[in-house]
A and B are shown apart, each in its own frame.
Chain A
């Protein structure tokens, strides 16, 4: 299983761009990288997913270098409502006769200030 490492916390201000980096040195060839956002007392929700290079959606961008040993979630122009915990997840792809096992790291606690 690929273990992930993220900063414990980050601070930003409204209107700024925030970049959160996740290290996953042991990522497997078939693994995808997925980011989730969690607000207090709620279940995590999907933000973005990628395999290599760059992925962009209406919420964020995900940058993955060629070696795939890390990834960076980029949130453009954050607002107070972006204050949450962000998790980087590297999927354990199913193998013949095996099981999926979703492992979340500790996450990054982002605080956006006025």
Chain B
């Protein structure tokens, strides 16, 4: 089945460690996105990528890094520079235009700092 797969669903990180969240899609979508969601809050854009080997910062990129070496993969690294990383992280993908049901989300990953 086509879709977006995020892993792991739950992740615990010690302070000072980097962690990487995986996002894979087999929808042949050009664009991919990472969002952060804090409890009871809306989605905030971290990074987005329109094509392979290119990505742009969103509204809250500090403390995060991404790569887009393959069209189907867009991993997010939460670095030790991110001071408050505990949150729910969502990956999404879309075609180049936004008409129709072309935006798909993964099931999300919970990151907790211990």
Chain B residues positioned under 8 Å from A93 (CB to CB): 97-98
Contact bitstring A37-60, B, C-beta under 8 A = 1, else 0: 000011111100100000000000
Stretch of B11-19, B35-43, B77-85 at the chain-chain interface: B35-43
CA distance A92 to B9 in the complex (A): 30
Question: Of residues 71 to 114 in B, which have CB atoms within 8 Å of A's CB atoms?
Answer: 88, 90, 92, 94, 96-101, 103, 105-108, 110
Given A41-B88, A42-B107, the answer on whether A100 and B98 have CB atoms closer than 8 Å is: yes
Given A34-B98, A41-B110, A100-B98, the answer on whether A46 and B103 have CB atoms closer than 8 Å is: yes
CA distance A43 to B91 in the complex (A): 8
Interface size class of A (residues with CB under 8 A): 20 to 34
Partner of B48, one of A41, A91, A101: A101
Partner of A87, one of B4, B42, B99: B42
Closest B-chain residue to A90, C-beta based?
B98
A102 lies within 8 A of B48 (CB): yes
Shortest Cβ distance from B41 into chain A, in angstroms? Answer: 7
Q: With contacts defined as CB atoms under 8 Å apart, how many contacts are there between chain A and chain B in the complex?
A: 69
CA distance A49 to B100 in the complex (A): 7
CA distance A31 to B101 in the complex (A): 14
B31 lies within 8 A of A100 (CB): yes
In this assembly, does A13 line the interface, its C-beta being within 8 Å of a C-beta of chain B? no
Interface size class of B (residues with CB under 8 A): 20 to 34
In this assembly, does A106 line the interface, its C-beta being within 8 Å of a C-beta of chain B? yes
In this assembly, does B64 line the interface, its C-beta being within 8 Å of a C-beta of chain A? no
Chain A residues positioned under 8 Å from B97 (CB to CB): 91, 93-94, 100
Given A32-B99, A43-B108, A93-B98, the answer on whether A99 and B48 have CB atoms closer than 8 Å is: yes
In this assembly, does A15 line the interface, its C-beta being within 8 Å of a C-beta of chain B? no
Chain B positions within 8 Å of A, measured between CB atoms, are 4, 31, 33, 35, 41-45, 48, 50, 56, 58, 88, 90, 92, 94, 96-101, 103, 105-108, 110
Chain A positions within 8 Å of B, measured between CB atoms, are 32, 34, 36, 41-46, 49, 85, 87, 91-94, 99-107
21 intermolecular pairs with C-beta atoms under 8 Å apart:
A32-B98, A34-B98, A41-B110, A43-B107, A43-B108, A49-B99, A91-B97, A99-B50, A99-B56, A100-B48, A100-B94, A101-B58, A102-B33, A102-B45, A102-B94, A102-B98, A103-B45, A104-B42, A104-B43, A106-B42, A107-B42
